[in-house]
Structure formats: structure tokens, C-alpha cells
Amino acid sequence: MQRIPEPELMDEAEQAQAYAEADFDAANRLFVDRFRAAFGDGLKGRALDLGCGPADIVGRLARHYPALHFDAVDGAAAMLAWAERSLAHDGVAERVTLLRRHLPCDDLPVASYQVITSNSLLHHMRDAHGFWTMLAAYAEPGTRVMVMDLLRPASLTAANDLVAQYAADAPQVLRQDFYRSLLAAYRPQEIVLQLSRAGLAPLDVQVVSDRHWLVSGRLD
């Protein structure tokens, strides 16, 4: 099935609210568990999260890694408002700087990061190569990288089946976003080519669920 792009930013109030209030516990837990398994405990320094949305994953990582400071970036003001609330609720707001930027960008507060993460952003972006080259530009030797996103199903029927399986009780706006996101998502072979083109071939690509791929590794 050919990829069908979807809009980049999630900046409509109803869309941001439905996303922020949805239950992404399984996927977000998968991300954090994989991160901890790959990179262990006790990380310190500065971390960058790209396309943070309501910052649930940033909040989970910030709670687990008290010596990391996060720059969490998103282009949608509506999402950043939810992120601000959720980080205050988690008690980690003082270690997270929320930044509104349209990605890719080259004006972040520091030149490089010890950790770079992103979940469920790449399929939104018009410029996939720009995403990876930005990630490479903000890495330094030793940077830990973890990027997860949806995996494009083989057919429209398979996409509909995933929506029925994982979002049956979700609001219509969320079901529609999930369906469109599945159609816009990349397949692992496409990610391998993108990484190679951006000079990031040493990173590992794995399929980690029936609907997610994961890129991870420590850069030289």
C-alpha cells in the first residue's frame, strides 16, 4: 500500500484534547521500557524530545531519570498547553523546557544532546530526511537515540482492523487520526534507507509490535 501523507501539526483544540486524554499507556510504556533496557539507569545531561505532544513519554522519562534535563519540542500550541499541565501534574516541570518549533529546526538552546527521543512524529513530517539530518546534527559522540513510530499496514483493511482493535471505544476524531496516521506511516525498509541517507546507518531498526517500529542505538 502506498503511503498517504497526513497534516503535520496537531493544533486543533478538539484534536489535541482527544489525543492528550487518550490512553496510550501500552505504547508509551513500550517506549520507556525499551529505552531503559537499551540504555540503563543513571543517565545525566540534556535530552531532546522531538514532537513531544502532551509530553506523557517525556514525563515518564523525567520521573525515571532525575539527572536529565529535557528540551521537549512541538509545533502545536494546543499540544504544548496539554504538555505544560501534564508535566506540572507529574512534578517534573522544572526539568523540562517546552519549546514551540516547526521541525526540522536549527535554533535549539544547546548545540548537542546526550539523549534524543521521538515517538509518533516522523509519519507527520513532510520532510523525513530533514528529521534525520536534524537528529544527526544535534547528536554528539555517545548520544543515545530512540525513535518509535507507527508501521504502515499492508492494506486499508489491515489499517481498519488495527483501528477496530486498538481504538474501538475512542472518540471519532482520535479514530480518524489513528487511521490517517497508519496510512502515513513508514515501513521498516523505508526507515533503513532514510537512516543510510542521513549517515545514521549504525542505528538499529526493529519491529516491536504489530503496529510499531523502533530505531535505537548509541552514536559514535
Ligand X SMILES: C[S@@+](CC[C@H](N)C(=O)[O-])C[C@H]1O[C@@H](n2cnc3c(N)ncnc32)[C@H](O)[C@@H]1O
* Look-up of cell digits 497526513: 6
Least distance from C-beta 200 to ligand X, angstroms? 19
Q: Which residues bind ligand X (CB under 6 A)?
A: 8-10, 24, 51-53, 56-57, 74-76, 79, 102-103, 119-121, 124-125
- Our CB check for ligand X shows the closer of 18 and 200 to be 18
Q: Which residues contact 128 (CB under 8 A, 6 or more apart)?
A: 122, 186, 194
Q: How far is CA 219 from CA 26, 108, 146, 180, in A?
A: 27, 20, 11, 32
Please tell me the distance from the alpha carbon of residue 52 to that of residue 74, in angstroms, as a whole number. Answer: 6
Rounded Cα distance between 96 and 89, Å, is 13
Residue with cell 545525566: 44
- Measured from the CB atom, is 177 or 195 closer to ligand X? 177
CB of 122 to ligand X, least distance (A): 9
How many CB atoms are located within 10 Å of the residue 3 CB?
13
Q: Toward ligand X, which CB reaches closer, 63 or 102?
A: 102
The smaller minimum CB distance to ligand X, of residues 149 and 200, is found at 149
Least separation in angstroms between residue 56's CB and ligand X is: 6
Q: Which is nearer to ligand X, 48 or 79 (CB)?
A: 79
We find the least distance from the C-beta atom of residue 49 to ligand X, in angstroms, to be: 7
The residue number whose beta carbon is nearest to ligand X equals: 53
- 167: its cell numbers: 481504538
CB of 89 to ligand X, least distance (A): 15
